[in-house]
Structure 1
Amino acid sequence: MKRAIVFAEIPAPYRVRVFEELAKEYELSVYFNQHINQERHVDYMVKDSSLNYCVLDTPEALARFNRSLKNLKQYDFVLDYHFAVPNGVRLMLASIYHKVPCFINNDGAFIQKNFFKNTIKKFLIKRAALCFGSGESSRRYFRTFGAREENIRYHQFTSLTEADILRKPLSIEAKQILKRQLKLEDKKTVITVGQFVYRKGFDVLLEAWKNVKGDYQLLMIGGGSMESSYLEFIRTNGLENVKLIEYLPKEELFKYYQAADLFVLPTRKDTWGLVINEAMACGLPIVSTDQCIGGVELIKNGINGFIVPVDNATALTEKISEIMQTDSLASMMSVNNLNKIQRYTMKNIAKTHIEHINEYFSQV
């Protein structure tokens, strides 16, 4: 069994569950850079796992990581999911020095104008043995920083299990039952999910919602620092059909997805946006912006949703209204999203990684 060091940012489910699958094939030493970041609710992190991992937030943990770098020749490869931070850079530099193959991962990124950081990225990325990416955005990122086309591999980035994905759209009756269970009004429902912060663009959604005509309700789920300003906007504009809900664990959140009729993510910037995968898994049409990489990768205009210009409330109003007012369009998009998302599981991410890693070693 090959041995590997794996490095990632935080013990989020979409990392830990993939690494658990990889651990069935390889002997892994897993390190996370920190327990949590500001982008995630503390309850989102994995608390139960068969994976033996270490978080680099104590002197003892860092000492253990340093010993691993010093003894890197004892490992067969490195899998670096967070190579843009100091510890990730150190791991890649150690792999180059010790001539241990390093496989890197990128699930979507915006290319920033920073000469110093970009110079480091170019040095590291063009020396990676394989570059795993989630689609065209990742390919463009890797190519910009010197990766060769033949070294780029693709996987279907997601936070889903097979059990999360519906096989067919829920009936109107099933949605009505869910609405009663959740104490929601029995009317067509638009849902959005994410932290209530400026970057998510929920202020633009509320501005758009003022002009959506119809007996609909809007559910905003996530909680956060901008909640009071949203409530003030709702009060000032007399929006009685908007409900703000705090962060929900996955099991509860999926009930709301399944009760809804349309998902909207008006983000100003998301390097993926896994809530889009989640909404697709529940058969929802999607409206998102051209600054959401997951949306751009997964959504085809008029087929399974719409992509609108960022910060454009008018465009949001138009596309929300078009889907909500056209049952045949919504039904088609629902079916298309379920068909598209079926293979987007964490188990398949691991399977793809294993196939390409084993293929690499069979050729060297």
Structure 2
Amino acid sequence: MYKREKNIKVLIIWRGPSPYRVDFFNELGKLCDLTVLFERRPDQITDKEKSWFHEDFTHFKGIYLKSITFRNTAFSLEQFKYLRKNAEYDYIVIGMYSTFIQMSSLLYLKLFKIPYLLNSDGGFIKKENKITYYIKRFFISGAKAYLSSSKGTSKYLQYYGANNKIMVYPFTTSFQKDVYKNLTAEDKLKYKKILGIKYNVIILFSGQFIYRKGVDILLKAAKNISKQCGIYIVGGEPTREYLSLCKENNLNNVHFIGFTPPQDLAQYYIASDIYVLPTREDIWGLVINEAMAYGLPIITTDNCLAGLELIKNEENGYIIPVNNTELLAQYANLLIDNKSLRDKIAANNRKKIQLYTLENMAKTHIDFLHNLKD
């Protein structure tokens, strides 16, 4: 067990108190003297239920910047009060580079030649005009070092001018205790009964009901997926389009579940047999980590960085092209009909995800900071 290194003082600027980041900050705060400046309070963030956020700042100092929000963008100048005290910190970390507060902080640090680290949860290299490219390059390049969620993220950072001091950390939402070493058929049956699920095999999707997540793609594929399998789509109220697709294709095995807090969502993970994230784009996709921690075979797309980083075809699940409903249905039916394959993948996923814990994520960060300091 690492001891708290009080001689290392870290300042992080972050967007808001998302539960997985607060859990991570608490773990990191056990290993260093950590202060986190949050750009927005939960009541300033409109695309998430307030109950989703996590404000238990036990092992770090969490501070909400005095900010105003306009069209979902936070504006503040208070961050400069802390950045002017840069000599008090060994490391300043900017959480990302896409908000007003992040960009203004980067401008300040660059202007006064103050060393800093830049974090990135992910990114895809896209076709863009030269002006957009050079704006991104300006904000991304110039950090002393970089914190990256994946090999794909590292390539993205280097495309925009990052140096080779890049630490790839095991990005996750799970504590070691949350990685289920073995879930039996009896466990799954128990939770199916608790949730009132009568299917022997079920597919799970959890997330926002927005276009980017590809729920409509799953529903279009569902007409060719065995009707003996239940499809549970958790996260909100179904749109008219979703309901129309279900009606047109007689998808009586599709069930929509509203917003579900993490402790209740865990029951669906345990009860499920297959996890599908048919995303059009996810710069990471933390639900992949969560599903693997429960041993679920994964079907996701080649535009999901978590999938590209963690999933090897047939070993951990399947990667399909975006919008490919035929392959989605094909792989879903393969897994539905083959319990031994599901069991093999479940064991592989639980083994692989052992390294992807919040404890190890914090340890990887502190090791990197020690090496930079040396």
TM range, normalised to the smaller chain?
Answer: over 0.9
Distance 1:57 1:287 in 2: 42
Aligned partner of residue 57 in structure 2, secondary structure: coil
Equivalent residue runs for 1:272-311 within 5 Å: 272-311=284-323
Query: Is 1:245 matched up with 2:257?
Result: yes
Aligned match for 1:103, one of 91, 113, 117: 117
Give 2:50's aligned residue: 42
Aligned partner of residue 78 in structure 2, secondary structure: helix
Give how far 1:265 is off: 0.5
Query: Is 1:335 matched up with 2:341?
Result: no
Aligned match for 1:68, one of 82, 92, 96: 82
For the structure 1 residues 43 and 117, does the alpha-carbon distance in structure 2 shift closer, same or farther, using more than 3 Å as the test? farther
Give how far 1:63 is off: 4.7
Aligned partner of residue 187 in structure 2, secondary structure: helix
Give how far 1:234 is off: 1.5
For the structure 1 residues 10 and 117, does the alpha-carbon distance in structure 2 shift closer, same or farther, using more than 3 Å as the test? farther
Query: Is 1:120 matched up with 2:132?
Result: no
Aligned partner of residue 2 in structure 1, secondary structure: strand
Distance 1:28 1:182 in 2: 41
Q: 5+ unaligned residues in a row in structure 1: which ranges?
A: none
The two structures, once aligned, show a CA RMSD in angstroms of 2.0
Give 2:101's aligned residue: 87
Give 2:177's aligned residue: 163
Give how far 1:64 is off: 3.3
Distance 2:314 2:46 in 1: 34
Query: Is 1:264 matched up with 2:276?
Result: yes
User: Given that residues 18 and 350 in structure 1 are in contact (C-alpha distance below 8 angstroms), is that contact kept between their aligned partners in structure 2?
Assistant: yes
For the structure 1 residues 196 and 338, does the alpha-carbon distance in structure 2 shift closer, same or farther, using more than 3 Å as the test? same
Give 2:92's aligned residue: 78
User: Given that residues 104 and 128 in structure 1 are in contact (C-alpha distance below 8 angstroms), is that contact kept between their aligned partners in structure 2?
Assistant: yes
Aligned match for 1:349, one of 332, 337, 361: 361
Give how far 1:264 is off: 0.4
User: Given that residues 73 and 100 in structure 1 are in contact (C-alpha distance below 8 angstroms), is that contact kept between their aligned partners in structure 2?
Assistant: no
Aligned partner of residue 279 in structure 2, secondary structure: coil
For the structure 1 residues 66 and 44, does the alpha-carbon distance in structure 2 shift closer, same or farther, using more than 3 Å as the test? same
Q: 5+ unaligned residues in a row in structure 2: which ranges?
A: 1-6, 69-74
For 1:292, give the aligned amino acid. Answer: C
User: Given that residues 122 and 284 in structure 2 are in contact (C-alpha distance below 8 angstroms), is that contact kept between their aligned partners in structure 1?
Assistant: yes
User: Given that residues 133 and 154 in structure 1 are in contact (C-alpha distance below 8 angstroms), is that contact kept between their aligned partners in structure 2?
Assistant: yes
Distance 1:108 1:58 in 2: 26
Give how far 1:196 is off: 1.1
For the structure 1 residues 171 and 71, does the alpha-carbon distance in structure 2 shift closer, same or farther, using more than 3 Å as the test? closer
Q: Deviations over 1:154-206 (max 9, x none)?
A: 111011111211012x2222211111111111421111111111111111111
User: Given that residues 20 and 173 in structure 2 are in contact (C-alpha distance below 8 angstroms), is that contact kept between their aligned partners in structure 1?
Assistant: yes
For 1:58, give the aligned amino acid. Answer: S
Give 1:53's aligned residue: 62
For 2:201, give the aligned amino acid. Answer: K
Aligned partner of residue 296 in structure 2, secondary structure: coil
Distance 1:38 1:268 in 2: 22
Give how far 1:124 is off: 4.0
Q: State, as a whole percentage, how many aligned pairs show the same letter.
A: 34
For 2:38, give the aligned amino acid. Answer: F
User: Given that residues 76 and 101 in structure 1 are in contact (C-alpha distance below 8 angstroms), is that contact kept between their aligned partners in structure 2?
Assistant: no
Q: Deviations over 1:305-352 (max 9, x none)?
A: 001110111111111011111122111111111010011112211111
Distance 1:18 1:358 in 2: 18
Equivalent residue runs for 1:110-259 within 5 Å: 110-112=124-126, 113=128, 115-149=130-164, 151-168=165-182, 170-224=183-237, 226-259=238-271
Give 2:17's aligned residue: 11
Distance 1:114 1:31 in 2: 33
7-16 or 316-325: bigger deviation: 7-16
For the structure 1 residues 309 and 38, does the alpha-carbon distance in structure 2 shift closer, same or farther, using more than 3 Å as the test? farther
Give how far 1:353 is off: 0.8
For 1:65, give the aligned amino acid. Answer: Q
Give 1:318's aligned residue: 330
For the structure 1 residues 204 and 186, does the alpha-carbon distance in structure 2 shift closer, same or farther, using more than 3 Å as the test? closer
Give 2:26's aligned residue: 20
Aligned partner of residue 335 in structure 1, secondary structure: helix
User: Given that residues 39 and 67 in structure 2 are in contact (C-alpha distance below 8 angstroms), is that contact kept between their aligned partners in structure 1?
Assistant: no
Distance 1:114 1:162 in 2: 44
For the structure 1 residues 200 and 325, does the alpha-carbon distance in structure 2 shift closer, same or farther, using more than 3 Å as the test? same
Q: Deviations over 1:48-72 (max 9, x none)?
A: 222432233536x935322112332
User: Given that residues 73 and 98 in structure 1 are in contact (C-alpha distance below 8 angstroms), is that contact kept between their aligned partners in structure 2?
Assistant: no
For 2:52, give the aligned amino acid. Answer: Y
Give 2:4's aligned residue: none
Aligned partner of residue 353 in structure 1, secondary structure: helix
The count of aligned residue pairs is 358
Aligned partner of residue 27 in structure 1, secondary structure: strand
Give how far 1:84 is off: 2.6
Distance 1:117 1:88 in 2: 17
Distance 1:267 1:208 in 2: 13
For 1:192, give the aligned amino acid. Answer: F
